Amino acid sequence: MRILLVCGSLEPGRDGVGDYSQKLAREFVKQGHQVFLFALNDRHITTLIERAGDEGIAEIRLSASMDARTRFAKLKEVTDAFTPDWISLQYVGYSFNKRGIVFDLAKQLRRLKTGANVHVMFHEIWQGESKDSTLKDKIIGFFQKRSAIAVVKALKPKCISTTNGYYQKSLSKAGIDTNKIPVFSNMPLGDHTRRKIYEQLPANYRIDNTAYVLACFFGGFHYHDLLAERIKQLSVSINDQFNKKLIITHAGKSPGIKEQFSKLNEVTGIQMHVLGEWAENDIADYLGTCDVSLSNHPKVLFEKSGSIAAALYNQCPVIILRDGFANDDQKRDEIEELKYITDIKKFINQDPGFAEKYSPKNAAEQYSAMFKLSVKS
């Protein structure tokens, strides 16, 4: 197949969906497909950037500062020249408009006449769906929803996807039927024998690591009022069931993380260490050495988190330390809210066979199967 992936930006390390699209493109190439990456509204560049054939993937990035008609004319030119079998729009409203309201995108896409099959992946939907939404969220969300529906009507996609069950239900209420393809790991598969970050851990742990359970937060860290209490609960359970101490670390980038960890250390008395930013291979290696990963991400949306997928891909089960904002009927052995885990030891020591579900290869295979099935139906 010839696949044209369209997203907002492709700046490496600066746009999650752009990184996702590039990893997905590489997996498509491994499957024997031809791929073209197209960034339609890249805020990280000031001029057109074009690359041909890196890893068998052609790429064009258009600056957001360019006139909209010029950008869409270029998309039409590329579509006509590449003649894709599939155009896949990797959709995040904020990638195309600072308020996430994309009526202009819908208008321009309506003019894109092509014989290709079209797919839309909703990485984000609209504000105002949760029970905690403010009136402002609901008003903005109303226009975001109407404009997202307009994009679907303009493209008339053969198939539509999203990353998680919560979005799937919200889209269904808006009359948009989707299938689900969870986000894959935003980190490679690590090697736990490489211990570049591990060597930064305090000496008392490295001298006698069998006396501890090593836990790690990775990436964006979101403080909440119940966090200290949940950490203390986890520490007590680990002491009771393992007869070990809990040590908590953070790897990656998150504003204010040192101050937040210092505060939590004072309140809980538990060892907490900020390890800082590292290359993605080093992060992946470190995740593979940890006993468990911790997250403040709502479980109902875990399938859209590349950071959670990175831990799971590296055989590290994930404990959620916050309450959900919506009912969650998913059951996965490898990820659970702390309050629902009755046997911490069994949870942490579980068989890591879940890891492959979170690989880029698995996601690309789901895309390919969906494309083939959609053409037959």
Q: Is the pLDDT of residue 248 over 80?
A: yes
- Asked whether the domain spanning 198-358 has the same topology as the one spanning 2-184+360-376, the reply is yes
**Mean pLDDT estimate for the chain:** 94
Topology of domain 2-184+360-376, CATH: Rossmann fold (3.40.50)
Every domain of the chain and the residues it spans = 2-184+360-376, 198-358
pLDDT digits over 260-284, tens only?
A: 999 999 999 999 999 999 999 999 9
Q: Is the pLDDT of residue 32 over 90?
A: yes
Q: Is the pLDDT of residue 354 over 90?
A: yes
- The architecture CATH gives domain 198-358: 3-Layer(aba) Sandwich (3.40)
Strands 34-42 vs 117-122: parallel, antiparallel or unpaired: unpaired
Top-ranked range on mean pLDDT: pick from 48-52, 296-300, 351-355:
351-355
Give the whole-angstrom CA distance, residue 251 versus residue 282.
10
* C-alpha 108 chain-centroid distance: 27
Helices 280-289 + 306-313 axis angle, to 10: 60
E strand or H helix at 120, and its extent?
Answer: strand 117-122
Q: Is the pLDDT of residue 325 over 80?
A: no
286 within 8 A of 198, measured Cβ to Cβ = yes
Q: How confident is the model at residue 130 (pLDDT cuts 50, 70, 90)?
A: confident
Give the whole-angstrom CA distance, residue 82 versus residue 115.
12
pLDDT digits over 48-104, tens only?
A: 999 887 678 999 999 999 999 999 999 999 999 999 999 999 999 999 999 999 999
Beta bridge partners of 120: 89, 160
